[in-house]
Amino acid sequence: MINILLECFLLISLGYALKKIAPLGFDAHTTRQSIISLIYVLLLPVLVIKSLWTSPAELIQWQISFSVTITVLITATLVWLIYRKLTTNTATLGAIILAGSLTNATYQGLPILTDQLGLLGTAIAIQYDFFAQTPLLLTLGILLAKKFGHSTEIPEHWMKTLIKVPALWAALIGLILNQQHIAPIEPLMTWLNHLSSPVVPLMLISIGLGLRLESLHPKDFPFLAPVVIIKLMIAPIIIITIAQYLQLTEEIIIGLALEAGMSSIIIAIVVCDRYHLDSNKYIEVVTLTLLLSLGSLPLWKWLLT
């Protein structure tokens, strides 16, 4: 665990250093947007297809998605119950609920779970995100953002938003190929391997390019402490309890607990911006949970093993 976290830290730090030093007029914002677009539209869908296609069929289980869904709903409710007493600002409340209930399952979780659990870890990360969390974000998450924020744009129906996510279509294709027992084809699989291999380092560098340490304000730490504790410590306990009840294997439970204990999801900042939620508080939670997860994740791995 320490080695992969160190590797993640170094790649994130590299992105952050490029942002701060800006060699040869380097534009961090434009570069990050380009990297994320490339990953989102092409590289990540390729990785999803390849991973699901080659995963043993028994690794794809509805219990994983069910555990994630219930965990997200419970943590969102906990955050709401606490922060409705701590703030009267609905934009802040909406942002805090999103940050406390949704996890950085792909950008942070995928490399760590793949390193720790191999093919099983990759399968868990993909199912966690694209079979549960992303649909929740684009349905209930957007409904929540509409309730607590506001937008002058004509809102797009959640179904239209959902069907525009390339990785979801890739997950469907990979699932069909897997469940129909269609054997991987060479040299197509070699090409898919080459195309998907840059995903992890590019994702981590993009996190560094978007990292805003200057957004952290010590005066906000007492206010943010409950959501950080829920995200990093309570969410893993909830998903462990649910997964044990569903009689999932020990390795799958470890993977789900680690995923639930990752930092807050980064991509939801787009929802915060669109519906005018408190993006500054959201970024603070993302940054805090990212930094603190470098210590909490090894603790969870030690406790679980």
- At residue 157, the pLDDT reads 66
What would the two tokens of residue 256 be?
């789900």
Contact 36, 213 (CB under 8 A): no
- Cβ neighbour number for residue 147 with a 10 Å cutoff: 12
CB atoms within 10 A of CB 249: 13
Please say whether the beta carbons of 135 and 68 come within 8 A. no
Q: What does the pLDDT look like over 114-136, one tens digit per residue?
A: 999 988 999 999 999 989 999 99
- 259 band by pLDDT with thresholds 50, 70 and 90: very high
Count CB atoms within 10 A of the CB of residue 295: 10
Q: What is the DSSP string of 184-196?
A: P-TTHHHHHHHHH
Summary mean pLDDT of the chain: 89
> Is the pLDDT at 215 greater than 90, yes or no?
no
Alpha-carbon distance of 157 to 169, in angstroms, equals 18
Mean pLDDT, residues 50-68 taken together: 87
Amino acid at 75: T
What pLDDT score was predicted for residue 261?
95
Question: Helices (DSSP H) in the chain: which residue ranges?
Answer: 2-21, 28-38, 44-54, 62-83, 90-101, 109-117, 119-128, 134-136, 142-148, 158-163, 166-179, 188-196, 199-210, 221-229, 235-245, 250-260, 269-274, 279-304
If we measure between CA atoms, which residue out of 108, 275, 74 comes closest to residue 207?
108
Q: How would residue 152 be classed by pLDDT, with cut points 50, 70 and 90?
A: low
> How does residue 254 score in pLDDT terms, banded at 50, 70 and 90?
very high
DSSP type of residue 264? B
Measured CA to CA, the distance from residue 122 to residue 114 in angstroms comes to 5
pTM of structure: 0.88
Confidence of residue 66 (pLDDT cuts 50, 70, 90): very high
Task: Give the residues across from 264 on adjacent strands.
Answer: 103
Q: Which pLDDT band holds residue 246 (cuts at 50, 70, 90)?
A: very high
Answer yes or no: is pLDDT of 95 > 90. Answer: yes
- The yes-or-no verdict on residue 139 having pLDDT over 70 is yes
Both tokens assigned to 155: 């809102």
C-alpha radius of gyration, the chain, whole number: 19
> Is residue 4 predicted with pLDDT exceeding 90?
no
Q: What is the pLDDT of residue 214?
A: 83
Is 58's pLDDT higher than 80?
Answer: no
